[in-house]
Structure 1
Amino acid sequence: MWPDLLRAAFALGLVILLILVFGAVLRRFGGAGLQRQGKRLAVSETLALDPRRRLVLVRRDGREHLLLLSPSGDIVVEPGIDAAAPPAAPPATETEQADA
């Protein structure tokens, strides 16, 4: 019984070692075959509105699109937002105006 357990433990250790070595080699050489070259699409931000709905800001070719994702369907809220435009500043409150 003990020889079988030792043989199984040795085989398991060898498999784990091979997985770690393969991961290190893949990380070292970048896994060029697994990565997409010239990414054009990225998720900039997400905001959960409730457990079923989510707002997603998607960037494509320097343009951003605001999407509402829900189980009942997906809606493009605002297409073609210029990604280089800074966000609008919030309006000043009365206390900030009085201090100025």
Structure 2
Amino acid sequence: MDLTDLVRAMFALALTLGLIGLAAVALRKYGPDAISRISAQKKKERRLRIVETLTLDPARRILIIECDGRERMILLGEGRLVADLPARADA
């Protein structure tokens, strides 16, 4: 292995590390939250949202969801829908 092979190997290593560093900087700047920033600019009206959630035990949870202006209470248990009850209307 002569001097030119050593210089070529060092240059290839420096180039590879530089590309990895450039990719890390790009991911930090344009990473996973970049998609949410783009979609936040569109800001379309959403029909469904979770108003409140309450954990009853490790297997069951109650959700109050709002869909098209109406609130519904949903009891979830063990990965399945247990009941869908109308929420109390406070007028």
TM-score w.r.t. the length of structure 2 is 0.64
Instruction: Check whether the contact 1:59–1:65 (CA below 8 A) recurs between aligned residues.
Output: yes
Question: Can you list the C-alpha shifts for 1:10-44, whole angstroms capped at 9, x where unaligned?
Answer: 11111122224435xx47xx414996621110001
Give the whole-Å Cα distance in 2 for the aligned partners of 1:80 and 1:14.
52
RMSD over equivalenced CA pairs, Å = 3.1
Q: Report SS of the residue matched to 2:21.
A: helix
Match of 1:12 among 16, 20, 32: 20
Q: Which amino acid aligns with 1:9?
A: L
Q: Which runs of 5+ in 2 are unaligned?
A: 1-5
1:56, distance to aligned residue in structure 2 (A): 0.5
Q: How does 1:1-100 map to 2 (within 5 A)?
A: 3=10, 4-23=12-31, 26=34, 30-32=37-39, 37-71=44-78, 73-74=80-81, 75-76=83-84, 78-79=85-86, 81-82=88-89, 85=90
Q: Which amino acid aligns with 2:50?
A: V
Q: Which runs of 5+ in 1 are unaligned?
A: 87-100
Give the whole-Å Cα distance in 2 for the aligned partners of 1:31 and 1:63.
29
1:73, distance to aligned residue in structure 2 (A): 3.3
Question: Can you list the C-alpha shifts for 1:46-82, whole angstroms capped at 9, x where unaligned?
Answer: 1111111000110111111000001273111x22543
Count how many residue pairs are aligned between Structure 1 and Structure 2: 79
TM-score w.r.t. the length of structure 1 is 0.59
Give the whole-Å Cα distance in 1 for the aligned partners of 2:77 and 2:43.
28
Select the structure that is richer in helix: 2
